[in-house]
Amino acid sequence: MTHNEAFEHHDHREPSKTCRLCSDEYSHEQNPSRLGICMTCGYKILIVLLIIMISTSYMAWFGVF
């Protein structure tokens, strides 16, 4: 078995064109993402992380935690 024959038997996955979180389609050429998520979900994740960081800093500052 040659290398080319072995290569043909593998599944070739194309770059993700649907978001892993919301399953909406997005243009991978316009928005290249290593994680396979769209910009909308990326912004939602960043907002949630920002809120968690702010609330954690207040808890640490006031000693609530």
Distance between CA 22 and CA 64 in Å, rounded?
A: 35
CA–CA distance, 54 with 27 (Å, rounded to integer): 33
Residue 25 DSSP code: B
Q: What is the DSSP letter of 30?
A: T
Tens digits of per-residue pLDDT, 38-56?
889 999 999 999 999 999 9
CA distance 2 to 9: 11
Residues 9-26: what's their mean pLDDT?
71
pLDDT of residue 57: 93
Q: What is the pLDDT of residue 19?
A: 87
